[in-house]
Amino acid sequence: MTLAMHGLDARHALAFGAIASAISAFALRGKGGKRSTPGATSMAIVPWGMLVDAGDAPRILRWAAVRKIDVATWRAPTLFVGATPSSRVIVETDHDRFEGEADFDAPLERLVAYLPFYATEQAMPLARDLEGDTLGDALEPSEPSCEALLASASDWLATSNAAARLELPPAGYRMASARSATPVAVEALRGVLRDRTPRPADPRAFAAIVAAEIHASELAPELVALTQCPHPIVAAVAKQAARRLGVSCTKTGSLDEVAPFLFERDRMRLEAWGRG
């Protein structure tokens, strides 16, 4: 069955990893043996998963909940403009199946190929240090974590270990207003923010907070890059850290974009922290 396509929304641009497509909203209909929602629904694909508007039952699908995505593309002849591209997208979870068509070529091949990796990255615990080598007191993504993450970064910056690791000025670990980034600090944090080595816990959100707290504006490009990270906490922290460093919202995107994938407590805490 051919389904009408809803209008594109640039706010839902899919731009994580090597994907830089402008896919956003499809008209979908549940189909097949799995449970479905009657009538057409719209779906937005964002870096953290999928938003499915099923009328009275809006759904938020993290990548871990998506079991399979199939995409088929073909060119259909038309009377006046020749062959035009069309795509069929099928999304399956454990219990639901959504299918829809769009009158353009949906470049989702890399999403299909890397879906398991996005799900794994999204499920990573959050480290409360710059190493992430042990689970220890790492924060699980299944619970609100931003309050503890911010407190851990603040506490660490008040230690002699932080002063030595980042070569902070003598007053840097005693007075927040005196903190400033040193070349050593910038390079140390840049290494963490850019690192994609699998670890027991992800230290990038912790590093992003530290970067903002020591006013490391040199790290703005790394923070902006992380705003599209599949892990919603890492992305949200990166957005707010970059904003604290003066980066325009046009480059970071707003916190509201990732908010559906956050606990409300985390959203409120990050919103307050982002204001400085």
pLDDT one-digit tens code per residue, 232-260: 999 999 999 999 999 999 999 999 999 99
Q: Between residues 164 and 99, which one has the greater pLDDT?
A: 164
Query: What are the beta bridge partners of residue 202?
Result: 126
State phi, psi for 238 to the nearest 5 degrees.
Answer: -60, -40
Say what the pLDDT of residue 31 is: 45
From-to residues of CATH 2.30.29 in the chain? 10-119
For residue 86, what pLDDT is reported?
75
Give the pLDDT of residue 168: 85
**37 — pLDDT class (breaks 50, 70, 90):** very low
pLDDT score of 122 more than 60: yes
CA dist., res. 115 & res. 47, Å (int): 11
Higher pLDDT, 53 or 199: 199
Q: pTM (2 decimals)? A: 0.81
10-119: CATH architecture: Roll (2.30)
Query: Tokens for 24?
Result: 């956003």
Q: How far apart are the first and last CA of the chain?
A: 51
